[in-house]
Structure 1
Amino acid sequence: MITTVTLNAAIDKTYYLPRFPIGQVTRVSNMSVDAGGKGLNVARVIKQLGFPVMAAGFVGGYNGQYIENTLKQSGIPHDFVHVDGESRICLNIIDESAATSSELLEPGPSITEEQIGELKRKLAGLAARSRVVCFSGSLPAGVPLDIYADLIRIAKAEGAFVFLDTSGEALRCGLEAGPCLIKPNEEEAIALLGKAGGGEEDYFRALEDFCGNRISRTVVSLGGSGALALWEGSRYRIRIPAVPVVNTVGSGDAFLAGMAAALADGRGPEDCLRLAAAAGTANALQRRTGWVEPADVDNLLGLVTVESAG
């Protein structure tokens, strides 16, 4: 089983507009809505890939009820801690004429120490039954910056393989607990390293110096240019095919879902990276966030290349 942990779950709404004029009334003719937050996007894609998954984290209020009901309808089991206040709504506005995406993200509810303790107790039981535990997304109010470090240690102590996908100080603090895999995008990698990576060789050297012996697997997503990966001392270059992009929001989560599914299935590094890249690319073909069609993933698997980079 794979467990995903979403500390700041959301209702994700995407509006598709022919144009998005600022300062004017605009009627939405096409939209999608899903249970969201990065970890729930990961959970949904894992389910679509045919692997067992459990969703955990915090939810609150009527929005939280909607999130749980949506997951139930999708056949995704969940074990959330219920909190006061409302889970957030995240709005993505797609301007189709300009090919732009504008996101508006609410902060979400405030979490108490008692609720953090309850999550830690739930996590220990879930991690003991999981091959992989994925921690994804931003932190809600009330949780300490080092909460991911605490949660990673709990999951690792139960024998789970741990992914961490967050940014900023939450990522820096979480790295202290030695997650088994991190997946920064290019901007996040530059922030971590304190400088631009330059060419691929510069990137790999900087990542090797930064990760040291703490993190055995690091994947840097480069958007449409694919990804670079360090995997237990080996370097890999991942190249993806050009596709007619509809919506890139959630592609990083789909990438992580493919990685988690392949690793839980016992596959080697090249197969893990290939399925991850195929899933991430398949998400870009969809209007919905954190969503893939299995047939698209299957077709893309043969078009993704994973090469040794020395």
Structure 2
Amino acid sequence: MNQHAAHVNVPGVAGSTAVVTVTVNPALDQTVCVNGLQTGAVNLGESLEFNAGGKGVNVASCLADYGLRTTVTGLLGRDDAQLFDALFASKRIDDRFVRVAGRPRINVKLVDLAHGQTTDINLASATPADADLLALEQAVLRLAAPGRWFVLAGSLPPGVDPGFYRRLTRTLRQAGARVALDTSGAPLTASLAPGLVPADDAASLPDLIKPNRAELEKLVGRALPDRTALEGAAAALLARGVACVVVSLGEDGAFGLQATPALNMPDATPHSTPAPTPQPATLAYAGFRASPLRVPVTSTVGAGDAFVAGLVASLIEGRAWPECGRRATAFAAGKLARVGPHLPSAAALDALAQQVHVETFVGSVQRAHGEA
């Protein structure tokens, strides 16, 4: 963990906070390491560790290690929240969580050290009160500012409308903020499915999404067996108004598409600009394909969240799109050697990034009907 990273202020980002992460459904991650897991048998545990978790918390922890000023918000049970308090204090993360009754849910992670595999057992959380959700929306709105990145990450608790992230995205983008969305299932569908998000409501779409192959297949309702099919599905999301689409492919790495001309991240302006000018019927995009690094694996938990942190950090820094893929892959590789949402030093991340193989490509797609 890079405990002594210097916090930086990024030009063009309002205020002293570069990133806000929103975790509606945080969790205490209980990680048990076993040297050769045998199901249906008695196993001797090598170690036991508890970490404050939830996708947005993991992203914030990695960003703080990297040196970016970060704020966290969401819904957090008052009971047994000490590990969250300690994490935020140790990494100087600005804590704006809405405290609610109860305790955070517990997720059990069984790490097989011999095979480099992790088995997740995620427990359900309690249904939040309507007043808690309203308090969270108000907290997010108070943090909204032109150019500021928000990462909406993770599942939603039982009983929460799947359209919650879509409404929050619309509010944030109208305030000029930028939104990265990393979720799955019904919340992802509610945020992106053409039948649920009208073509004339592009303001409800996030700037960046990072589904994996299975999540993208579920979203589009068909199998995506090869590179051509995957790129076509991602490009269709660009055509509808998502600026950046990155698809994680596990052992096959990741690829990402960015609409061009690329967003000028350091000199951000609000999305609520004057009347739009007519756009060409075809949208051009730039792409990268990043190969994963073969590194020793202690725990895969949170590697995807580290990848998202690397993407957002790189966009804030104004890196070229292929370099965003390179840096994000280095973030994920750096996290794999650690239990919990922590990164190595900046120098170690730089060294990892230099080892990442990245291919670039370009393409174009017909704009979705009704998009500006």
Normalising by the residue count of structure 2, what TM-score does the alignment of the two structures yield? 0.78
> Quick one: which of 94, 104, 110 aligns to 1:77?
94
Question: Which whole-Å CA distance do the structure 2 matches of 1:151 and 1:33 have between them?
Answer: 30
> Quick one: which of 134, 138, 157 aligns to 1:121?
138
Task: Tell me if the contact between 1:193 and 1:207 (Cα under 8 Å) persists in the aligned partners.
Answer: no
Alignment correspondent of 2:175: 158
> Quick one: which of 305, 308, 319 aligns to 1:256?
308
**Uncovered stretches (5+) of structure 2, i.e. residues with no partner:** 1-17, 198-203, 260-284, 363-372
Question: Which whole-Å CA distance do the structure 1 matches of 2:146 and 2:237 have between them?
Answer: 32
> Quick one: which of 317, 337, 340 aligns to 1:285?
337
Matched, 1:238 2:290: yes
Question: Which whole-Å CA distance do the structure 2 matches of 1:305 and 1:231 have between them?
Answer: 19
Matched, 1:299 2:355: no
Per the alignment, do residues 67 and 83 of structure 1 end up closer, same or farther by CA in structure 2, a change over 3 Å counting? same
Alignment correspondent of 2:247: 220
> Quick one: which of 194, 199, 207 aligns to 2:226?
199
- More displaced, 197-206 or 147-156? 197-206
The residue type paired with residue 114 of structure 1 is A
> Shift in Å at residue 202 of structure 1?
2.4
**Uncovered stretches (5+) of structure 1, i.e. residues with no partner:** none
Per the alignment, do residues 118 and 17 of structure 1 end up closer, same or farther by CA in structure 2, a change over 3 Å counting? same
Task: Tell me if the contact between 2:23 and 2:54 (Cα under 8 Å) persists in the aligned partners.
Answer: yes
- How well do the aligned residues superpose, as a CA RMSD in angstroms? 1.8
Alignment: residue pair count: 309
> Shift in Å at residue 65 of structure 1?
4.0
Alignment correspondent of 1:32: 49
The residue type paired with residue 86 of structure 1 is R
Alignment correspondent of 2:166: 149
Secondary structure of the structure 2 residue equivalent to 1:29: strand
Task: Tell me if the contact between 1:8 and 1:139 (Cα under 8 Å) persists in the aligned partners.
Answer: yes
The residue type paired with residue 138 of structure 1 is S
Task: Tell me if the contact between 1:131 and 1:264 (Cα under 8 Å) persists in the aligned partners.
Answer: no
> Quick one: which of 286, 296, 299 aligns to 1:247?
299
Matched, 1:20 2:37: yes
User: What does the per-residue CA deviation read over 1:177-210, in whole Å, with 9 as the maximum and x for residues that have no partner?
Assistant: 2000100112212222222323322221232234
Task: Tell me if the contact between 1:135 and 1:164 (Cα under 8 Å) persists in the aligned partners.
Answer: yes
Question: Which whole-Å CA distance do the structure 1 matches of 2:207 and 2:214 have between them?
Answer: 21
Question: Which whole-Å CA distance do the structure 2 matches of 1:292 and 1:69 have between them?
Answer: 17
Alignment correspondent of 1:173: 190
Indicate the structure (1 or 2) with the bigger Cα radius of gyration. Answer: 2
User: What does the per-residue CA deviation read over 1:258-300, in whole Å, with 9 as the maximum and x for residues that have no partner?
Assistant: 11111122323222222111101211222x1322102431111
> Shift in Å at residue 301 of structure 1?
1.0
The residue type paired with residue 110 of structure 1 is T
Task: Tell me if the contact between 2:65 and 2:91 (Cα under 8 Å) persists in the aligned partners.
Answer: no
> Shift in Å at residue 66 of structure 1?
3.3
> Quick one: which of 180, 197, 209 aligns to 1:182?
209
Task: Tell me if the contact between 2:117 and 2:299 (Cα under 8 Å) persists in the aligned partners.
Answer: no
User: What does the per-residue CA deviation read over 1:21-46, in whole Å, with 9 as the maximum and x for residues that have no partner?
Assistant: 44455453312221100100000000
Question: Which whole-Å CA distance do the structure 1 matches of 2:247 and 2:206 have between them?
Answer: 15
Task: Tell me if the contact between 1:12 and 1:91 (Cα under 8 Å) persists in the aligned partners.
Answer: yes
